[in-house]
Structure 1
């Protein structure tokens, strides 16, 4: 369960919200507060007022994996292997366990062949996959993706979607500009001017957005 109560932070104004769903899509126009909400839910930012609880705990007490829109801003290490292994290393896991975890995460994302590469030599899509593997290596309880699919080709975006679907995380919070991807979620939050204007199943939310640019393209085609 994700619970938000009396949340005030920057432009965010969310009096109350409780979501008991695994794959939660966060959508809305630019500047609506989506990234700020994800930052607060992941523990990157502390709210000015109110509370956020993930699995009945504050974000700081939950294992959260984060994948941002621009992996260049978050990749810390020069080698792919070191980037993926960083999470278990930061948790002081034994070397054999760290090695096995890093290689398993790379295998899961389909980038084992990149382990010996320098991160600076990778394409944008490859960097996004490395960031996703690093997040998965932490065995996250909550996986947060902030428009991680925005600059990916169709093949790489589908690979990211597959990894997310197969993740063992209790919750996946995915901010996306792809309404077709959002339509495949269990639950959708539509944000506008810092508020959650609509929330519910994809059918419930998109029925309120049918005359807007936020209606899924595939749904228009199939009508």
Structure 2
């Protein structure tokens, strides 16, 4: 369970929220606080007030995998292999275990052919897949994706969704602009002005957004 209590940080104002579902999509207008919420949940930012706990632990005490909208801002190493190896190395895995995790993550994401490449030579989509492989290489407890699918072609976006579905993470938080992706989540948060205005299953939340641009296009065609 992810439990948020008395959270006030920058634009955020979330008095109480308990999330038990595995895959949780976060949607809303730009500036509504989605990224800030994800950064607080990831432990990237320390909240001004309140707490975020994961399975009754602070997020600083659990393994978090992060994939951002712009991988160029978060990729740290010049070689693909070293980027994917960063999490197991930071956790002092042995060389053989680290190598196994790197190769397994690359296979899972479909990029074993990129392991020897320089990050600088990759396309934007390839960099996003490398960031995803790095995020899942050490089997995080909490996997967070901040609009990681925003600039991907349809094939690459579907590959990302497949890796997320197969992830061993207990919870996945995914901020997305794709309402079709959000519709496939177990639970949905709709944010506005720093608050969670609606939350529930996709069916419950989208029923309240039917006359807005947030209603999934495919659902609109079928209704």
TM-score (norm 2): 0.99
Alpha-carbon distance in 2 for matches of 1:47, 1:102: 33
Corresponding residue for residue 214 of structure 1: 214
Corresponding residue for residue 87 of structure 1: 87
Deviation (angstroms), 1:138: 1.8
Aligned length: 223
Corresponding residue for residue 149 of structure 1: 149
Corresponding residue for residue 104 of structure 1: 104
Are residue 28 (structure 1) and residue 24 (structure 2) matched?
no
Alpha-carbon distance in 2 for matches of 1:77, 1:52: 30
Corresponding residue for residue 6 of structure 2: 6
Deviation (angstroms), 1:83: 0.3
Alpha-carbon distance in 1 for matches of 2:8, 2:130: 33
Alpha-carbon distance in 2 for matches of 1:21, 1:142: 12
The CA RMSD over aligned residues, in Å, is: 0.4
SS at match of 1:130: helix
Where does structure 2 lack aligned partners over 5 or more consecutive residues?
Answer: none
Equivalent residue runs for 1:15-164 within 5 Å: 15-164=15-164
Deviation (angstroms), 1:222: 1.1
Equivalent residue runs for 1:195-214 within 5 Å: 195-214=195-214
Alpha-carbon distance in 1 for matches of 2:51, 2:187: 21
Alpha-carbon distance in 2 for matches of 1:193, 1:130: 33
Deviation (angstroms), 1:84: 0.3
SS at match of 1:93: coil
Alpha-carbon distance in 1 for matches of 2:168, 2:222: 32
SS at match of 1:125: helix
Alpha-carbon distance in 1 for matches of 2:173, 2:55: 13
Where does structure 1 lack aligned partners over 5 or more consecutive residues?
Answer: none
SS at match of 1:134: helix
Moved over 6 A (4+): none
TM-score (norm 1): 0.99
Corresponding residue for residue 185 of structure 2: 185
